[in-house]
């Protein structure tokens, strides 16, 4: 190896032993940069948590309430003794309207769901054939009456001739007979005209009572002929809504809890917030052997447009409780059943007073319809929290959503 080559090899060995200060600085700075990044993330998460806590702290809990109700002193209270599912019906069930005379349907003057008054025209049949029959009967009657008048004159002349001795008694008897036949013919034709008038009138179908149209069974242009309730003559089915009722099947074992005149409450399944006072008006005379039940009807007081025939309802039979004796009459406080809560065997209600919650211990003394009778703890008029109450605490500020 030459001297130049040895010198070059020495420089390369020295360069391998040199320390790279830049690389050492980068390796030493990397851990500190990682620690700074982690610290920044922790601070950011802490800040977000603090802001969320501030927002939650400033938010007011929203609650729905109903008000405790105070009854009049001495008023008879009614407790629920039996509940069952039934249907809305009418006192006269359904009114099926058909035709008495066959004819073509000319037009309907009502639609399904329309309310009608008694005597209102519902259907018009084609009256032309009955108009013609009526006109023919009236014309025949006019001719018969003219013939009757002639027979009367002939009898008068025959009587005069007999009195003068010109005509025999036999001829007078014939004249009298002809007069009676003419009178009978006129009476018969008058009945024919009356029947033709009734047939003509029956081409107009009117509502026999006030009610609502439930269904139409034929179309305009079809031929309607007389038939039974479900026969070919049925054109319209309607219901009388003047006397709305609800019916329910009561088990034989529960019949002792139901009696005539007993108060009840009807609650439609479609509108659970609506309730109607009712009273038992009919206990059917025969038990259904297959089901072991008796059909019971209650008359609904103050029925409105929300109730419809065949609507499913919940019927609660109530037990009248006599008023307290005179001199000891007290008012009763009623609270919604869902507002009265139980915890560790003790009853209480959340009361909203000036926007804040108060846990009020209560005592109950039975039920009245959908309410609880509160014997202690409420005076009436308090706003009671409904629905879930998890997380509520004494003194918490709340916002009332929809008072009931």
Buried b (16+ CB within 10 A) or exposed e, 7-18: eeeeeeeeeeee
Instruction: State yes or no: pLDDT of 26 exceeds 70.
Output: no
Whether the CB-CB separation of 345 and 35 falls below 8 Å is answered with no
Q: In the chain, where are the structural domains located? A: 61-76+326-400, 77-91+244-321, 101-239
Q: Specify the pLDDT at position 328.
A: 45
Q: Specify the pLDDT at position 53.
A: 44
CA distance 131 to 123: 17
Instruction: State yes or no: pLDDT of 28 exceeds 90.
Output: no
CA distance 112 to 237: 9
Helix (H, G, I), strand (E, B), or coil: what is residue 157?
helix
Please give the model's pTM, rounded to 2 decimal places. 0.50
Instruction: State yes or no: pLDDT of 92 exceeds 70.
Output: yes
- Per CATH, 61-76+326-400 and 101-239 having the same topology is answered no
Q: Specify the pLDDT at position 307.
A: 86
Q: Specify the pLDDT at position 245.
A: 92
Pick the CATH number of 77-91+244-321 from 3.10.310.10, 3.90.960.10, 3.40.50.720, 2.40.30.170: 2.40.30.170
Q: What is the pLDDT of residues 292-312, one digit of tens each?
A: 999 999 999 888 888 888 899
Q: What is the pLDDT of residues 94-152, one digit of tens each?
A: 788 888 889 999 999 999 888 899 899 999 999 999 999 999 999 999 999 999 999 99
Q: Beta strands 211-216 and 121-125: pairing type? A: unpaired
Instruction: State yes or no: pLDDT of 27 exceeds 60.
Output: no
**DSSP H/E element including 296:** strand 293-300
Can you count the helices (H) and strands (E) in the chain?
4, 24
User: What confidence category does residue 244 fall into, taking pLDDT thresholds of 50, 70 and 90?
Assistant: confident
Answer whether CATH 3.40.50.720 is correct for domain 61-76+326-400: no
Buried b (16+ CB within 10 A) or exposed e, 359-384: ebebebeebbbbbbbbeebbeeebbb
Instruction: State yes or no: pLDDT of 257 exceeds 60.
Output: yes
Answer whether CATH 2.40.50.100 is correct for domain 101-239: yes
Q: Specify the pLDDT at position 40.
A: 66
**DSSP H/E element including 250:** strand 244-251
Q: Which has the minimum average pLDDT: 123-137, 146-160, 308-322, 382-396?
A: 308-322
Q: Which has the minimum average pLDDT: 24-28, 116-120, 204-208, 257-261?
A: 24-28
């Amino acid at each position: 190896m030459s001297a130049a080559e040895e010198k070059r090899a020495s420089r390369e060995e020295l360069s391998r032993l040199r320390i790279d200060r830049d690389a050492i600085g980068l390796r030493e700075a990397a851990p500190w940069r990682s620690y700074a990044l982690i610290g920044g993330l922790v601070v950011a998460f802490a800040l977000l948590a603090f802001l969320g806590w501030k927002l939650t702290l400033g938010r007011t809990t929203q609650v729905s309430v109903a008000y405790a109700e105070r009854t009049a002193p001495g008023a008879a209270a009614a407790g629920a003794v039996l509940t069952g599912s039934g249907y809305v019906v009418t006192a006269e069930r359904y009114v099926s309207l058909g035709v008495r005379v066959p004819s073509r349907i000319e037009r309907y003057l009502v639609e399904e769901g329309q309310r009608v008054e008694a005597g209102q025209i519902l259907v018009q049949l084609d009256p032309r054939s009955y108009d013609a029959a009526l006109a023919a009967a009236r014309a025949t009657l006019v001719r018969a009456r003219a013939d009757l008048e002639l027979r009367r004159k002939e009898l008068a002349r025959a009587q005069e001739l007999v009195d003068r001795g010109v005509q025999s008694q036999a001829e007078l008897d014939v004249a009298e007979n002809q007069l009676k036949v003419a009178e009978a013919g006129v009476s018969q034709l008058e009945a024919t005209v009356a029947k033709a008038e009734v047939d003509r009138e029956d081409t107009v179908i009117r509502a026999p009572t006030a009610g609502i149209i439930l269904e139409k069974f034929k179309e305009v242009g079809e031929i309607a002929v007389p038939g039974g309730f479900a026969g070919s003559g049925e054109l319209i089915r309607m219901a009388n809504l003047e006397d709305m009722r609800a019916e329910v099947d009561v088990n034989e074992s529960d019949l002792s809890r139901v009696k005539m005149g007993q108060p009840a409450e009807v609650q439609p399944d479609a509108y659970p917030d609506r309730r109607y006072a009712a009273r038992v008006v009919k206990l059917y005379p025969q038990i259904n052997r297959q089901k072991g039940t008796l059909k019971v009807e209650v008359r609904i007081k103050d029925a409105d447009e929300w109730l419809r025939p065949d609507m499913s309802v919940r019927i609660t039979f109530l037990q009248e409780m006599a008023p307290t004796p005179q001199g000891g009459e007290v008012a009763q406080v009623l609270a919604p059943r869902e507002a009265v809560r139980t915890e560790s065997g003790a009853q209480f209600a959340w009361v909203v007073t000036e926007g804040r919650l108060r846990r009020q211990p209560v005592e109950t003394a039975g039920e009245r319809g959908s309410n609880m009778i509160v014997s202690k703890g409420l005076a009436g008029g308090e706003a009671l929290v409904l629905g879930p109450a998890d997380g509520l605490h004494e003194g918490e500020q709340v916002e009332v959503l929809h008072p009931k």
